[in-house]
Each structure stands twice: as structure tokens, then as C-alpha cells.
Amino acid sequence: MKTINEIMQDYTSGKTPLEETNKALQEAGAGFHLEPGKNALTEEEIRATTIGYYPDMANGFGLLDSGTGTFDKVRVKAGELVDCDCGSMFALCTMAGRTYEVKGKTLTEYQG
């Protein structure tokens, strides 16, 4: 069985559609699902998202896991969250099939 992180990576990369993702999240016991218009990414947002070798090359849309039990849709520009700052709390951002650790508003390599 895939981990929740793997399920979210497949979703943000466009590999798995929303309905299939929500089913996989339920089977994994995630306790949450993605809702269109709230925290689900549109096809246009997925297609507009790009990442590179380094975290500061990430641009577009991702899903932020700040430990609240849901994933929040966020916009990223040049490897930084737009209109969001996580301060010193632990948070992860998954976008285009890759997961980053967030330090303040900056994406960094995730070693998890």
C-alpha cells in the first residue's frame, strides 16, 4: 500500500486523478479527502507547475501539509510560498510529484 505522501505526489504530478486519489487516501486511512474548489488542484494548475533540480526553481501550485489534518492549496514562486509563511513550524509542500520541507516560506530539500 502507498503512503499518504506517495499518494499526494502521484496526484500533484497529474499521474492520478482526483477521484482515484480520494479513494487511495481513504484506503490509506488518511482521515481527509481533497475537495474541488478548496484544496484540489485543477488540471490547469497542475500543468502550470514546474520544478527543477533545486527547490528555488519550483513555480506554480502545490499542497501544503502543516499538520492540521488537511492539505491547503498554495502558490509557489521561485521556491517560496506566496501569501503564506509557516514560521518555525514543521510543514511540507508537495508539488509536481515532489515533496519539499518548508522553512518559513522557503521550500527546502525534504530528507524524510
CB-CB contact of 75 with 85 (8 Å): no
Q: What residue numbers bound the domain in which 18 lies?
A: 4-109
Distance CA 1, CA 74 (A): 27
Model pLDDT for residues 92-102, shown as the tens digit of each residue: 999 999 999 99
Confidence category of residue 112, pLDDT binned at 50, 70, 90: confident
Model pLDDT for residues 27-86, shown as the tens digit of each residue: 999 999 999 988 999 999 999 999 999 999 999 999 999 988 889 999 999 999 999 999
With a threshold of 0.85, does the pTM exceed it?
A: yes
Number of domains in the chain: 1
